[in-house]
Amino acid sequence: MHKSIKLYRYLILNLIFCTIISLAHCQTAVNWTGSVSSDWGTAGNWSNNAVPATTDNVQIGFVAFNNQPIVSLNCQVNTVSFGSIQPIVFTVMQNAVVQVAGNIIQSHSTNNIMPKTILAGNGSIYCNALFVGNNILPKVIISKMTNVISTISNLYVATNLTLYAVSSDLLSGGKGNNNSSFSLQAGQLSIGGQIKTYQVMPPYLQSSASGLPYGKFSIDIVGNQNATLALGDSISVSLANAATDTVNFNNYISGTGSSTVNYNGAGQVIYTNSFSAINNKNHTYQNLVISGSGVKTIVSASGNTLLVGGAMHVISGSIAVQATSSVIKVQSYP
Q: Same domain for 121 and 85? A: yes
Residue finishing a domain among 212, 231, 263: 263
Q: How far is CA 323 from CA 269, 278, 301, in A?
A: 13, 19, 6
- Domain for residue 7, yes or no? no
Any residues with CB less than 8 A from the CB of 108 and at least 6 apart, and which?
84, 115, 133, 134, 136, 137, 138, 146, 164, 166, 178, 180
- Domain for residue 209, yes or no? yes
Q: Same domain for 297 and 252? A: no
Closest CA to 282 of 300, 259, 299: 259
pLDDT for res 25: 37
Q: How confident is the model at residue 165 (pLDDT cuts 50, 70, 90)?
A: very high
Q: What is the mean pLDDT of the chain?
A: 86
Q: Same domain for 161 and 240? A: yes
What would the mean pLDDT of 278-304 be, rounded to a whole number?
A: 79
- Domain for residue 80, yes or no? yes
- Domain for residue 44, yes or no? yes
Exposure on the CB side of residue 249, measured as CA atoms within 13 A: 31
Q: Are 157 and 189 in contact (CB under 8 A)?
A: yes
Q: What is the dihedral of CA 38, 43, 44, 48, to 10 degrees?
A: 120
Q: Same domain for 194 and 328? A: no
pLDDT for res 23: 39
Q: Same domain for 62 and 184? A: yes
Q: How many structural domains comprise the chain? A: 2
- Domain for residue 270, yes or no? no
Question: Omega into 87 within 30° of 0, i.e. cis?
Answer: no
Whole-number percent of the chain with pLDDT over 70: 84
Domain residue limits at 284: 278-334
- Rg (C-alpha) for the chain, rounded Å, is 23
Query: How far is Cα 128 from Cα 103, in angstroms, rounded to an integer?
Result: 5
- Domain for residue 188, yes or no? yes
**Tens-place pLDDT, residues 52-100:** 999 999 999 999 999 999 999 999 999 999 999 999 999 999 999 999 9
Q: Same domain for 72 and 146? A: yes
Query: How far is Cα 304 from Cα 301, in angstroms, rounded to an integer?
Result: 7
DSSP one-letter code for 204: G
Residue finishing a domain among 202, 233, 263: 263
Q: How confident is the model at residue 307 (pLDDT cuts 50, 70, 90)?
A: confident
Q: How confident is the model at residue 299 (pLDDT cuts 50, 70, 90)?
A: low
pLDDT for res 326: 62
pLDDT for res 12: 41
Burial of 94 (C-beta count, 10 Å sphere; 0-12/13-18/19+): exposed
Q: Same domain for 204 and 302? A: no
**What does pTM read for this prediction?**
0.88
Q: Same domain for 285 and 256? A: no
- Domain for residue 21, yes or no? no
Q: Same domain for 99 and 223? A: yes
- Domain for residue 4, yes or no? no
Q: Same domain for 214 and 287? A: no
Check whether 225 has a pLDDT greater than 90.
yes
Q: Same domain for 258 and 292? A: no
Helix, strand, or coil here: 25? helix
Q: Are 71 and 94 in contact (CB under 8 A)?
A: no
pLDDT for res 27: 60
What would the mean pLDDT of 280-285 be, rounded to a whole number?
A: 78
Burial of 199 (C-beta count, 10 Å sphere; 0-12/13-18/19+): buried
Q: Same domain for 35 and 97? A: yes
Q: What is the dihedral of CA 61, 67, 68, 70, to 10 degrees?
A: -130
Closest CA to 216 of 254, 182, 262, 174: 182
Check whether 236 has a pLDDT greater than 60.
yes
Query: How far is Cα 268 from Cα 318, in angstroms, rounded to an integer?
Result: 10
Residue 146 φ then ψ, to 5°: -100, 125
